[in-house]
Amino acid sequence: MSCEADTTALLRSGGRRLTPQRQRVAAALQHAGGHRTVEELHELMAGQPDTPMALSTVYRALTTLKELRLVSEVDAGGRAAFTWVDHSRPHHHLVCLGCGVERDLDPALLRQLGSEIRAVTGFDAFLDHFAIMGECARCRQAAAQT
Amino acid sequence: MSCEADTTALLRSGGRRLTPQRQRVAAALQHAGGHRTVEELHELMAGQPDTPMALSTVYRALTTLKELRLVSEVDAGGRAAFTWVDHSRPHHHLVCLGCGVERDLDPALLRQLGSEIRAVTGFDAFLDHFAIMGECARCRQAAAQT
DNA sequence: CTGCCCTCCGCGAATATTCGCAATTGTACG
DNA sequence: CGTACAATTGCGAATATTCGCGGAGGGCAG
């Protein structure tokens, strides 16, 4: 897969090293899919025949991967959760602060925003995977009746 | 100030109570200005003649205020920092992941995004105070040369 | 005004996350 | 292929943050 080559190249960039631990964390997250907590990933790898990994190493690997924008971090009720970012399929979430429901948002809207920001400020906004807080129509109506 | 009246009304909404602790946390954050860590706020109030406040209470008050969108939370290198949100002057930040520089963004761009999201999905996006991660022009050039 | 209910607070314990340090081990280079 | 250097890991300790519980106190019905 090309993604592996990309990952390798990215991990090597900026004086970083391609270590088995980072590869394993990356692989585990890709394989598991969805949102995974640090604990889940750690246990997942504890089941592997390789040398067990320290929990702090998982944290550090995820931090590194996040800096490279290979994973994104979201808040899952008190503990951190991570997702593998598929750059070939950017998507965004609208999260309702009222009921917690999540729905996807048309990527086109944010793509346009990204272009505008770039045009106005020269800033390259990272909008591959983005969560916007808000309130859904249902909760808004419920709140209005209060 | 009207902000106090607003705060009071907001805090009373949804069956919530206006407690001295919440008022003190809100006041401390408004007075201190800028980004403050929980620890800072706690010490700030420890210097007051009133009854000392438990640290966990500061956390909980800030959580409540955040739910009411009176404060916003940002990540200040491992520990959480909070800012008082001035709804009369919405503003947004572009944060460069490379050099850490922050610059403001024209609110009009996001206001438009908010309208579009609302039109398309019925979702009411909260975009009063928003941070977008990215890379500034300078860092992008530097990275390209690597 | 009085009583009841439900939200909050303080406290201490449980979790989650980060840090410091010495030992390892990728990588670049000769 | 062997060496040198700096990034990384493991481990345990230090921090940061959340939770659960019992007791108070605010606010509304009667």
- If one compares A99 and B68, the residue with the highest pLDDT of the two is B68
CB-CB neighbors (< 8 A) of A133 in chain B: 125-126
> Does residue A66 share a domain with residue A109?
no
| pLDDT confidence of residue B5 | 62
- Tens of pLDDT along A13-39? 788 999 999 999 999 999 988 889 999
| CA A61 – CA A55 distance, rounded (Å) | 10
Residue of A nearest to B123 (CA): A136
Q: Are residues A12 and A80 in the same domain?
A: yes
Instruction: Copy the structure tokens of residue A116.
Output: 């505008």
Tell me: pLDDT of A41 over 90: yes
> Do B75 and B7 have their domain in common?
yes
Q: Is B7 helix (H, G, I), strand (E, B) or coil?
A: helix
Domain final residue pick, B56, B84, B112: B84
B100 close contact with A: CB closer than 8 A: no
**pLDDT score recorded for residue B2:** 46
Determine the distance between A74 (CA) and C15 (C1') in angstroms: 18
pLDDT of A145 above 70: no
Residue B105, min C-alpha distance to chain A (Å): 8
Between B119 and B135, name the one with better pLDDT: B119
The number of angstroms, rounded, from the C-alpha of A113 to the middle of its chain's C-alpha atoms is 20
- Which of B34, B54, B84 is the endpoint of a domain? B84
pLDDT tens per residue, range B25-75:
999 999 888 889 999 999 988 877 778 899 999 999 999 999 888 898 887
Give the residue-averaged pLDDT of B93-106: 77
The confidence band for A2, taking pLDDT boundaries of 50, 70 and 90, is: very low
Domain end position, chosen among A84, A110, A135: A84
Domains: count for chain A: 2
Distance from CA of A77 to the nearest CA of B (A): 12
Chain C bases having any atom below 7 Å from a protein CB: 6-13, 16-20, 26-28
pLDDT at A12 over 50: yes
Q: Is A95 within 8 Å of A132 (Cβ atoms)? A: yes
Mean pLDDT of chain B: 83
- Sign, CA dihedral A29-B63-A146-A144, equals negative
Supply the angle between the helices B20-32 and B55-67 in degrees, to the nearest 10: 80
Q: Do A101 and A137 share a domain, yes or no?
A: yes
How many angstroms separate the CA atoms of A130 and A133, rounded? Answer: 10
* CB within 8 Å: A135 and B117: no
B38 touches strand D (CB under 7 A): yes
Supply the CATH number for residue A128's domain: 3.30.1490.190
